[in-house]
Amino acid sequence: MNATSITSSASEAISTAEIDASCRVPLFTLFVSGAVWLVVASIFGLLASLKFHSPGFLSDCAALTYGRVHPVATNALVYGFGVQAGLGVALWMIARLGGTRVAQPWLISLGGKLWNLGLLIGVIGVLAGDSTGFEGLEIPRYGVVFLFLGYLLIAFWTLVTLHSRKVRALGPSQWFLLAALFWFPWIYFTANYLLLSHTPIRGVTQAIVAWWYSGNLNLVWFGLVGLAVTFYFIQHLMNRPLYSGNLALFTFWTIILFASWSGIPASAPLPAWLPALSTVATVLTVITVLSVMANVHKTCGRGCSQTENPPPGKFIAFGAIAFVVSWLMNIANTIPQINSVTNFTWFTVGQWQLNVFGFFAMTMFGAIYYIVPQVTGVEWPCAKSPRRHFWLAAIGIILIALPLAIGGIVEGFNWRNLKMSNVDVAKNALNFLRVSTVGELLILLGNLMLLGNLIGLSVRYYRIHFVPVYKEATAELKPAEGKP
Amino acid sequence: MKYGPLVFLAAFFALSASWCGLVLTPQIQLGRAVQETNSVVKTDLYPAGRSGLAREGLEVYRANGCAYCHSQQVSQKGTLVDVILTAAGKNPMDVAAALNEAQVGTFSGPSVGAGLPKTVLRNVPMEKASVLANVLKKAGATAELHLVPVGPDIERGWGARRTVAEDFIADATVMPGSQRVGPDLANIGERKPDLNWQLVHLYSPSSAMAGSPMPSYAFLFDKKKIGRQPAPDALKPIGEFVPPAGYEIVPKPAATALAAYLISLRSDTPLYEAPLTPAAPATNAPAK
């Protein structure tokens, strides 16, 4: 944070190296499994995308039908990478900003393992046909229990870490993270309890809860965590304080007050007040976007373009731009006149991808590329690799979001054109989707690079820290000199 | 915002507001809705509810993620009115004059009574229609106003009216869908009530619907050698679909259930929230 907030006395100050070391165990669990899920997500995403090139592709197997592969891809991306990596980065930032060691790193790591177990069970369940049928909440009940417990374990000890901070004053990034830590269990519990308990709510209220949850996860949770990381790293990498803490506070309030009411589509078959309220709230998030733009722009000033940006900065800058574009797309999509064209089209998918991958995942990549060498004290095995990953991911997501957005608008107008039959409209829209398959492929390659980098770095770490110890321990005892 | 509890309170306040607004209030307003005689035809209970087989089919629909490509919500832009002249009364000359004055076409006195009932004004706003109806009434004729929902989805034939909350009351997993990779299914049972067509379409979509990019759901079917007697529920040839020689395609229970569910999908009953005048049943009015 800014220099004035560092008030702790030198005697109790904990060195950065010590703080980083305390993060190592949980971050290893969260980041490596996050990267594995990311690869899983892009493999399934690619499979789903390939089905549009040839509908017969792998269609003989029930588990690999589009309606099961697609939710696996989205859940692996959101819960496997998104939430998991977000929690890891949040933990590190909270420890660093608070100048304190992570509380109970092994329990956090255990939480991460529960989370992964839950997701694995859930994904297998979805492939076996046990999906709940609610978009964004497909994981069946028996997986949700583990996910929820895992989250609670991680979040609780992260909050304890926050509580035991040595630097008392909270900065903007910490507000965002604190709110996010508390936000997720509430929305996740509400949605799963109301939809999947033995006596679920009935009728269209099910859809309302699922929409409410998705809006809160995609905008509020990803927004809060993503922007916390953006604000932190802008200061950290530019080596200057945030332009305005008050503006960041304003951003914070607009997210929790407005974005939390979004999510209900403008055309939803509900009493008119619900979509209307959601539209108004979503349109108001334009203030969030503007305040973030102003703050980031003023903080960077001219500095952004002057020096060669290292990979973490590149990722985070891309994430910030994707944030602005995807939130503006989301606003456009809730205006009834525009929604009547774009709703139910690939436009919404493009917007979702741009938000979850373009903004959130990219921001997390930047943070991971910065944090991991700090925490382990080991450099990335291949210095050029993060840069290559950046270009693959950036071009990949552009090749997904742009064709889908344009294709969605075309599709929307085609559905209104009665001269085109249903089959014609669907086939026409698939042309755009096919371009996005190239994007999926590039993203898969990029994700493999991230996983490869993390594994390579772990091997290096192992070689540096464990091999010498092992050698020493198992070295042949030389007979002492001077004896016969 | 220097203190943790303050941030916590802010988030707590904001989230509880959103929770009360978008979770609790809709639950109070809609959560206890039951099947009612809210349809315009008072005697019908709406929605009728699905048969046991169709409810099983909904589970197949859910398990295979049909909702990722098919929505079940028809949207509507507005409601317009048709004015239908049902009787010309004793004074057709006046009626013709009134119609001509309203500039809805050229009518001559004697012909105005021919071919009734006939639509004299199509797709106009309610105000305009009621003005004409009054004029006609004064001229001694009888006219009916028919409510016609309009919008791109309705023109595409996906439904007679918009989908409303009530349409989902009877379903256990509500899947309104978010994408239209394929057509909307809110009224697929109305459009394609033929069980064999539905099954063939699931087995081999492009044979039932030329050029369809939908994947096949062949895993819901068994391909069997025809025994001494062909299976009674085997798929019958339709369109381009012909079972391979010597074999028959028999739907598994899941396929039959899914098809039953699809056929059960119809939501075109007139409701007070979404009124419409149903297409007139075949009348015994003299053909023109």
Q: How far apart are CA A399 and CA A22, in angstroms?
A: 39
The SS3 assignment for B169 reads coil
Are residues A436 and A49 in contact, defined by beta-carbon separation less than 8 angstroms? yes
The verdict on A476 touching B (C-beta cutoff 8 Å) is no
pLDDT of residue B276: 87
Asked if B89 and B207 sit in the same domain, the reply is no
Mean pLDDT of A384-395: 94
In a domain, B13, yes or no: no
Asked if B66 and B178 sit in the same domain, the reply is yes
Q: How far apart are CA A320 and CA A356, in angstroms?
A: 12
CB contacts of B172 in chain A (<8 Å) are 200
Task: Among A424-433, B98-107, B263-272, name the one with the lowest average pLDDT.
Answer: B98-107
CA distance A463 to chain B (A): 41
Cβ contact, residue pair A257, B215, below 8 Å: no
**Model confidence pLDDT, tens digit, residues B198-256:** 999 999 998 988 889 999 999 999 999 998 888 899 999 888 888 888 899 999 999 99
pLDDT of residue B222: 93
What's the complex ipTM?
Answer: 0.91
Q: Look at the pTM and tell me if it is higher than 0.80.
A: yes
Q: How far apart are CA A175 and CA B113, in angstroms?
A: 77
Asked if B104 and B206 sit in the same domain, the reply is no
Domain final position from B132, B150, B168: B150
In a domain, B9, yes or no: no
Asked if B91 and B227 sit in the same domain, the reply is no
Which residue of chain B is at minimal alpha-carbon distance from A55?
Answer: B215
Nearest to A404 by CA among A375, A366, A430: A430
The verdict on A464 touching B (C-beta cutoff 8 Å) is no
Are residues A278 and A216 in contact, defined by beta-carbon separation less than 8 angstroms? no
Cα–chain-centroid distance for residue B77? 15
CATH code: domain of residue B133: 3.30.1390.10
Task: Among A32-46, A294-308, A405-419, B167-181, name the one with the lowest average pLDDT.
Answer: A294-308
The verdict on B239 touching A (C-beta cutoff 8 Å) is no
Domain carrying residue B84: 78-150
Which of B1, B21, B179 lies nearest to residue A175, judging by beta carbons? B1
Angle between helices A141-163 and A84-98 (to 10 degrees): 10
The SS3 assignment for A305 reads helix
Are residues B70 and B180 in contact, defined by beta-carbon separation less than 8 angstroms? yes
CB contacts of A423 in chain B (<8 Å) are 209-213
Asked if B71 and B205 sit in the same domain, the reply is yes
In a domain, B42, yes or no: no
Asked if B66 and B192 sit in the same domain, the reply is yes
Cβ contact, residue pair A269, B176, below 8 Å: yes
Sign of CA dihedral A374, A379, A383, A385: negative
Output the six-digit token pair for A425.
């409209």
Task: Among A205-209, A381-385, A410-414, B179-183, name the one with the lowest average pLDDT.
Answer: A381-385
Q: How far apart are CA B222 and CA B205, in angstroms?
A: 16
**Model confidence pLDDT, tens digit, residues A193-248:** 999 998 899 899 999 999 999 999 999 999 999 999 999 999 888 888 899 999 99
The SS3 assignment for A384 reads coil
Confidence of residue B273 (pLDDT cuts 50, 70, 90): confident
**Model confidence pLDDT, tens digit, residues A179-188:** 999 999 999 9
Asked if B121 and B193 sit in the same domain, the reply is no
**Model confidence pLDDT, tens digit, residues B66-80:** 999 999 999 999 999
Cβ contact, residue pair A264, B177, below 8 Å: no
Cβ contact, residue pair B168, A203, below 8 Å: yes
Burial of A376 (0-12, 13-18, 19+ CB in 10 A): buried
Which of A179, A345, A426 lies nearest to residue B213, judging by beta carbons? A426
Are residues A25 and A92 in contact, defined by beta-carbon separation less than 8 angstroms? no
Burial of A316 (0-12, 13-18, 19+ CB in 10 A): buried
Asked if B62 and B187 sit in the same domain, the reply is yes
Output the six-digit token pair for B252.
């598994």
Cβ contact, residue pair A65, B21, below 8 Å: no
Are residues A25 and A68 in contact, defined by beta-carbon separation less than 8 angstroms? no
Q: Which of B2, B22, B46, B50 to mutate to test the interface with A (most CBs of A within 10 A)?
A: B22
In a domain, B19, yes or no: no
- Provide the number of structural domains found in chain B: 2
Q: Which of residues 133-152 of B touch A (CB under 8 A)?
A: 152
pLDDT of residue B283: 52
Task: Among A1-5, A121-125, A246-250, B59-63, name the one with the lowest average pLDDT.
Answer: A1-5
pLDDT of residue B119: 84
Which of A67, A186, A270 lies nearest to residue B165, judging by beta carbons? A270
The verdict on A207 touching B (C-beta cutoff 8 Å) is yes
Asked if B69 and B85 sit in the same domain, the reply is no
Nearest to A314 by CA among A324, A304, A301: A304
pLDDT of residue A2: 42
Cα–chain-centroid distance for residue A321? 15
Asked if B143 and B163 sit in the same domain, the reply is no
pLDDT of residue A483: 54
**Model confidence pLDDT, tens digit, residues A328-363:** 999 999 999 999 999 999 999 999 999 999 999 999
User: B35 Cβ partners below 8 Å, 6+ apart?
Assistant: B45, B46, B47, B48, B49, B169, B170
**Model confidence pLDDT, tens digit, residues B33-64:** 887 766 666 667 888 889 999 999 999 999 99
Confidence of residue A475 (pLDDT cuts 50, 70, 90): confident
CATH code: domain of residue B182: 1.10.760.10
Domain final position from B90, B120, B150: B150
Which of B177, B181, B216 lies nearest to residue A426, judging by beta carbons? B181
Report percent pLDDT > 90 for chain A. 78
CB contacts of B213 in chain A (<8 Å) are 52, 55, 423, 426-427, 430
Mean pLDDT of A160-177: 92
Confidence of residue A11 (pLDDT cuts 50, 70, 90): very low
CA distance A171 to chain B (A): 7
pLDDT of residue B35: 79
Q: How far apart are CA A307 and CA A116, in angstroms?
A: 39
In a domain, B47, yes or no: no
Which of B4, B183, B219 lies nearest to residue A170, judging by beta carbons? B4
Output the six-digit token pair for B82.
């048709």
**Model confidence pLDDT, tens digit, residues A127-142:** 999 999 999 999 999 9
Asked if B260 and B169 sit in the same domain, the reply is yes
In a domain, B6, yes or no: no
pLDDT of residue A217: 97
Helices (H), strands (E): how many in chain A? 19, 0
Mean pLDDT of A88-110: 95
pLDDT of residue A142: 96
CB contacts of B18 in chain A (<8 Å) are 212, 216, 260-261
Which of B171, B213, B219 lies nearest to residue A427, judging by beta carbons? B213
Domain final position from B126, B150, B174: B150
Confidence of residue A365 (pLDDT cuts 50, 70, 90): very high
Question: CA B235, A59, A71, A420: dihedral to nearest 10 degrees?
Answer: -70
Is A28's pLDDT higher than 50? yes
In a domain, B61, yes or no: yes
Question: Locate tokens 């028996």: which residue?
Answer: A142
Confidence of residue A302 (pLDDT cuts 50, 70, 90): low
CA distance B275 to chain A (A): 14
Domains along the sequence of chain A with CATH: 16-463 (1.20.210.10)
pLDDT of residue B284: 53
Q: How far is CA A243 from CA A2, A164, A301, A319, in A?
A: 10, 28, 9, 19
Cβ contact, residue pair A68, B65, below 8 Å: yes
Asked if B123 and B203 sit in the same domain, the reply is no
Radius of gyration of chain B (CA): 26
Q: How far apart are CA A91 and CA A97, in angstroms?
A: 10
Are residues A100 and A164 in contact, defined by beta-carbon separation less than 8 angstroms? yes
In a domain, B218, yes or no: yes
The verdict on A64 touching B (C-beta cutoff 8 Å) is no
The verdict on A271 touching B (C-beta cutoff 8 Å) is yes
Q: Which of residues 60-79 of B touch A (CB under 8 A)?
A: 61-69, 71, 73, 75, 77
Confidence of residue A308 (pLDDT cuts 50, 70, 90): low
CB contacts of A178 in chain B (<8 Å) are 4, 7-8, 11
